[in-house]
Amino acid sequence: MSSRLFAKKSIDDLMSQASDSKTGFKRALTATNLTTLGIGAIIGAGIFVLTGQAAAQYAGPGIVISFIISGLACAFAGLCYAEFASMIPIAGSAYTYSYATLGEFLAWIIGWDLILEYLFAASTVAVGWGGYVVSFLHDFGIHIPTAYTAATGSVLVNIPDIGWQQVTTNLVSNLHLQGIDINSLPHVTAILNLPAMFIVAVLTILLVIGIRESANFNNVMVITKVSVIILFIAIGIAFIKTANWHPLIPKNTGVWGHFGWSGILRGAGVIFFAYIGFDAVSTAAQEAKNPQKHMPIGILGSLSISTVLYILVALVLTGIVSYTALNVADPVAVGVNAMGKGMFWLRPIVKIAAIAGLSSVILVMLMGQPRIFYSMAKDGLLPPVFSKVHPKFKTPYVSTLLTGSVALVLAGILPISILGELVSIGTLLAFVIVCLSILVLRRTNPGLKRPFRTPWVPLVPILGALICFIQMAALPLDTWLRLIIWMGVGFIIYFTYGIRKSKLRNSGNIP
């Protein structure tokens, strides 16, 4: 039984599948498209929301070190992904890689984990998108009813000179210090987050229409947000007050994860959500024109560019304003405010960039998930309907519509904090498995053709797996419990459906 659970797909079969022109996918993506897809997914909520929040709650100005730690982990994992993506250039990402190296059961685990990553990530970023859109429209006198701008059941209060804010422990504490009784302020209980649901619906339709159209939309969004981020960095350097960087690592409060070095690690685990996009590039392998050459460029290129931008924004933002003021939904806008009234013209531009940036992240996340479903369904582990490709648009339209529908509901009813932490731990687990898979395949099949080779094996994959696991360990216990529950549901589905329908197990080609 155990040998059948860990049965592996033949690399030769996978390569044959990769070269099969009858898969229905259109090979339309160049190295530039793949790189911008990666940047589109990486540069988003991390730079516009999480940078400030993680600095305020966990790491202080040391959030820069947190980004470096997460960036290193991603660099190691990215090198491993690049080898796999060039060697096995088919849709499926880490799921497919695990099937070829670790066996079917572990492949199911990683596939189910990737659902957690992509599906919940799209919902998480949609919530951030909604927040910036509401703020942007408010600046022009357009007001969406407050009850329809936040997660179901969320309580919001109207703070003088600031506006509607969701009630949190930090908010109550800050108002108390200012002598304001939160009970005296107007309250509203949210019903649904309609802006977040709207953007998921629009981008789902775009993805059904076609991959090239989606890639072109993403290119425009990436150019917009990267240009504004560079503008913010260039202007912000002149407003840096080096005193805001001292102390670089604030003294720990006595609670693990709240400042000090434990806060640096907690911050790295939380903001890891910001880096998840580069592995989405690997899900589009069957739509790349020259995957053996272009996949490594797309993965490593997008990761490198995004990491540099993250570190620079973190340095500038914590230099312009004290980290204690950054626990807000729009920390970059707070940084612009701190530059003075003469720079207020930059505020709407930053919001436009944030909206564009978050749009492209949602797009890439919604693109990645259906392609995971497609690969799992082709292997028989999910119902065949998930592998249907539209006869005209050449996209996996059924799984795209399903993914979009579920993400739409999650974005409308769940808060960003729960969604974000689940995505981080799911992503970290995926990276650990990919790094270990490189070690396994190098040992079991050393002579396999590898258009791109991960350097310094076994050092790189070991460091990648180790750093990712340390960041997982630094996440809150509640997040681990939710992961365990999610994986438990996955086990039930595998042992009641997948194990019986597996095409590999039913082919008679395993012992």
Q: What is the mean pLDDT of residues 387-404?
A: 86
Give pLDDT tens digits for 173-182: 667 767 787 7
Average pLDDT along the chain: 83
For residue 361 the two structure tokens come to 């992240």
Q: Rounded to an integer, what is the distance from CA 321 to the centroid of its chain?
A: 27
Cis before residue 195, ω within 30 degrees of 0?
Answer: no
pLDDT for residue 511 is more than 50: no
**Is CATH 1.20.272.10 what the domain over 2-126+195-505 is classified as, yes or no?**
no
Q: What's the CA gap between 511 and 501, in Å, rounded?
A: 17
Query: What does the pLDDT average to over 13-25?
Result: 60
Asked if pLDDT for residue 4 goes beyond 80, the answer is no
pLDDT band at residue 243 using 50, 70 and 90 as cut-offs: very high
158 pairs with which residues across the strands? 164
Worst-scoring range by mean pLDDT, 85-89, 257-261, 262-266?
85-89
Q: Is this prediction's pTM over 0.85?
A: no
Rounded mean pLDDT, 150-176: 71
pLDDT grade for 266, boundaries at 50, 70 and 90: confident
Candidate from 208-217, 235-244, 298-307, 429-438 with smallest mean pLDDT? 208-217
Which residue would you say has higher pLDDT here, 173 or 253? Answer: 253
What's the pLDDT tens digit per position in 46-101? 777 778 878 988 999 999 999 998 888 888 988 898 888 777 776 556 788 788 77
Q: How many helices (H) and strands (E) does the chain have?
A: 21, 3
18 — pLDDT class (breaks 50, 70, 90): low
Instruction: Tell me the domain boundaries of the chain.
Output: 2-126+195-505
Give the least confident one: 234-238, 319-323, 355-359, 488-492. Answer: 355-359
At what angle are helices 397-413 and 104-139 packed, to 10 degrees?
60
Per-residue pLDDT reduced to its tens digit, 24-40 = 566 777 888 888 878 87
The pLDDT value recorded for residue 162 is: 57
**Euclidean distance between CA atoms 347 and 234, whole angstroms:** 15
What pLDDT, on a 0 to 100 scale, did the predictor assign at position 336?
A: 87
Rounded to an integer, what is the distance from CA 402 to the centroid of its chain? 19
Residues paired with residue 195 on neighbouring β-strands, in sequence order: none
| Res 466: pLDDT | 93
Q: Quick one: what percent of the chain has pLDDT higher than 90? A: 21
| Four-point Cα dihedral 490, 495, 498, 500, nearest 10 | -170
CA dist 90 and 24 (Å) reads 12
Distance, CA of 231 to CA of 236 (rounded, Å)? 8
Going by pLDDT thresholds of 50, 70 and 90, the confidence category of residue 195 is very high
Alpha carbons 248 and 65: distance in angstroms, whole number: 9
Assign 308 to helix, strand or coil: helix
